[in-house]
Amino acid sequence: MSWFESFVLGLVQGLTEFLPISSSAHLRLTAAFAGWEDPGAAFTAVTQIGTEAAVLIYFRKDIGRILAAWWRSLFDKEARRDHDAQMGWLVIVGSIPIGVLGLAFKDQIEGPFRDLRLIATTLIALGIVLGIADRLAARDDKGGRHRARRERKSLEQLNVRDGLLFGCAQALALIPGVSRSGATISGGLFMGYRREAAARYSFLLAIPAVLASGLFELKDIGEGHVSWGPTAFATVLAFVVAYAIISWFMKWISTRSFMPFVIYRIALGILLFVLVATGALSPHAGEAAG
């Protein structure tokens, strides 16, 4: 991997990680469109450490408060009633599905799941799901002529069942094209949570899974065409870009719809199908060396 490739891929990782459009799919597609070797699942996982570092800094006050309350709850039963302590436990519970499935399907994630036809399918399918979830949220927020406005749930109402369901939605992101934020936010909207609440829990829930995955994949960097220098450079760049994106995205979702992302996902998926069907792009482009 050249330094220019690592620059482009690091930029793409930072831009797409927190948007509901799938960073893993965009890394895969960027390499395929450019005629580069597939950066691979290990490169994707390690560069995500950079984007999660951005989450740790952006939500540092929330995370610090949650960690402190969770630690107290280990020794004080009364402290377990604190919402922040409960959030700590719910993040752990919600991380179980992706941890179990990530280990169980590791070979598929690094191989068959990177087929461009599968990525096109998941881009379109999750786009439709996100669109439906967004419309339901908008209907509740605005109400209508024959229905009252419905108050949606906040994170204070998160329970173990919902935490597990959020975690199951997040686990779908093991398939490139699904999108971690897109799946978890969609799940949250279907469960009746507000957009900003679903997004905030999505970002917090990603921390253990992404950091564990990145650290686990570190051993594979340096094997094949992906070397340490470019990977570290891409990771740092992804951190810088992702921090700016988080700030923008949290402001966006408080007042705007997800429909631009829905349209983009569906259009990109259709384009990808057309390119593969016409032979302009191989469904396994770059895989041989990646």
Question: What pLDDT, in 10s, does the model give residues 57-68?
Answer: 999 999 999 999
Nearest to 180 by CA among 118, 94, 68: 94
| pLDDT given for residue 290 in this prediction | 38
| pLDDT given for residue 143 in this prediction | 65
What is the DSSP code (8-state) at residue 82?
Answer: S
pLDDT average, residue stretch 146-174: 87
DSSP for 139-192, please give it: HHHH-BTTB---PPB-GGG--HHHHHHHHHHHHGGGSTTS-HHHHHHHHHHHTT
Lowest mean pLDDT, pick from 64-73, 142-151, 205-214: 142-151
Q: How confident is the model at residue 288 (pLDDT cuts 50, 70, 90)?
A: very low
Q: What percent of the chain has pLDDT over 70?
A: 94
Nearest to 7 by CA among 39, 45, 42: 39
Mean confidence (pLDDT) of the chain: 88
pLDDT average, residue stretch 275-283: 89
Kindly report, residue by residue over 38-51, the tens digit of the pLDDT.
887 778 888 989 99
pLDDT average, residue stretch 87-95: 93
3-class state of residue 223 by DSSP: coil
- The Cα 115–Cα 55 span in angstroms is 29
Kindly report, residue by residue over 94-113, the tens digit of the pLDDT.
999 998 988 888 777 767 77
Model confidence, pTM: 0.86
Lowest mean pLDDT, pick from 85-89, 94-98, 186-190, 222-226: 222-226
pLDDT average, residue stretch 14-39: 88
* Residue bearing the bigger pLDDT, 145 or 184: 184
- The Cα 276–Cα 278 span in angstroms is 6
Q: What are phi and psi of 153, to 5 degrees?
A: -80, 150
Q: How confident is the model at residue 253 (pLDDT cuts 50, 70, 90)?
A: confident
Inter-residue contact 80 to 87 (CB < 8 Å): no
Kindly report, residue by residue over 256-278, the tens digit of the pLDDT.
889 999 999 999 999 999 999 99
Cα-to-chain-centroid distance, residue 209: 10
**Two structure tokens written together for 270:** 């259709």
| pLDDT given for residue 148 in this prediction | 63
Inter-residue contact 272 to 120 (CB < 8 Å): yes
CA atoms within 13 A on the CB side of 162: 22
Please list, in sequence order, all residues whose beta carbon lies within 8 angstroms of the beta carbon of residue 48, skipping any fewer than 6 positions away: 13, 17, 23, 210, 213, 214, 238
Inter-residue contact 123 to 266 (CB < 8 Å): yes
